[in-house]
Amino acid sequence: MAEPRIHVSIDGHVATITIARPEKLNALDIGMLKELNAACDTVEADGQVRVAILTGAGKAFSAGGDIKAWAAMTPNEFGHAWVRFGHRVFERLATLRVPLIAALNGHALGGGLELAAVADIRIAEAHIKLGLPETGLGMIPGWSGTQRLTLRFGAQAVRRMALGGEVFSADDGLALGLVDHVVETGTALAAAQAYAERIAKRGPSAIEVAKLMIASANGEDNGTAVEALGSILVAKTADLKEGVSAFAEKREPAFKGEW
């Protein structure tokens, strides 16, 4: 079997997801997208995890989608197997129940920047570059580069990258809101771990609900956020316990409207 290229490690309340294809600057292919999806399963299933970190092995965070992985696809394959599947995986990362911190240890370009954008917090090393070079290849940003990035960072920054081909430094990214903190080269992961510990000390239920509410206020996945919040609330009620008991005992439930 092929060696896994997405690694997940859990230390206490912190899960770290590492993209490990350094020889290709952590460029993503279909197999890696599937591994990222499985990494989400691992994080979601561990009730002790309160925060996750996403980073890259070697000198890059991620060079984005591996051109060789999609260049020979038919338009139908490209639209469904590549773009739509990538969207689903990135959406899972963006909607993890726990906060996600991106430790940008290297350049985040194209799909790599789209991947960084799924995180709640981005910590960038001072030397990195940020950009959306796809239109220079006759392609458009396909993993929500024109959507999530615009919602989170504003249309003008995205225009400058996608239309003008501008590439920003870490300091530029800080000024534009693309990243939240800039740290010395070689220290992004340590800084992310320190920030993760800061989050992990706070109330986990409050953090989870706050993340959902912020996403809803920002126009991101309102329906899911509302249903998740409502389900969490109802799951704590005496009525739900009564309804489940009544079902198991094959009787009519005696709801009392008690919270």
Residues with catalytic roles = 114, 134
**CA 104 remoteness from chain centre:** 13
Contact of 10 with 51, CB cutoff 8 Å: no
Q: CA separation (Å) from 244 to 61, 96, 130, 232, 234? A: 46, 27, 51, 16, 13
Instruction: Fill in the DSSP letter of residue 219.
Output: T
Contact of 40 with 8, CB cutoff 8 Å: no
